[in-house]
Amino acid sequence: MLTFIVIDKLEEIAPPDHYLNEIVRGGKRHLSETYLKQINSRVERLRAGD
């Protein structure tokens, strides 16, 4: 298991594609499809500047 901890988080930004792919890949075994869709939707909103 691998855990990332943000110490000095400033503003929320979208993760790079390669990191998002790892989040989704690792989550497929443990997270619902609905939750994975919410992750993707959040990233899309961040990338759009919302």
Quote the pLDDT of residue 31. Answer: 94
Residue of 9, 45, 6, 3 whose CA lies nearest to 23: 3
- Indicate whether 27 belongs to any domain: yes
- Indicate whether 7 belongs to any domain: no
- Indicate whether 31 belongs to any domain: yes
Quote the pLDDT of residue 3. Answer: 86
Total domains present in the chain: 1
- Indicate whether 37 belongs to any domain: yes
- Indicate whether 22 belongs to any domain: yes
Residue 50 clears pLDDT 90, i.e. is over it:
no
- Indicate whether 28 belongs to any domain: yes
Structural domain containing residue 43: 17-48
Rounded to 5 degrees, φ, ψ at 23 are -60, -50
Provide the H-helix boundaries in the chain: 17-27, 33-48
Q: How far is Cα 46 from Cα 32, in angstroms, rounded to an integer?
A: 21
Give yes or no for a contact between 20 and 43, defined as CB atoms under 8 angstroms apart: yes
**Residue pLDDT, tens place only, 1-49:** 788 888 888 888 999 999 999 999 999 999 999 999 999 999 999 999 8
- Indicate whether 42 belongs to any domain: yes
Quote the pLDDT of residue 9. Answer: 82
Q: How far is Cα 16 from Cα 33, in angstroms, rounded to an integer?
A: 21
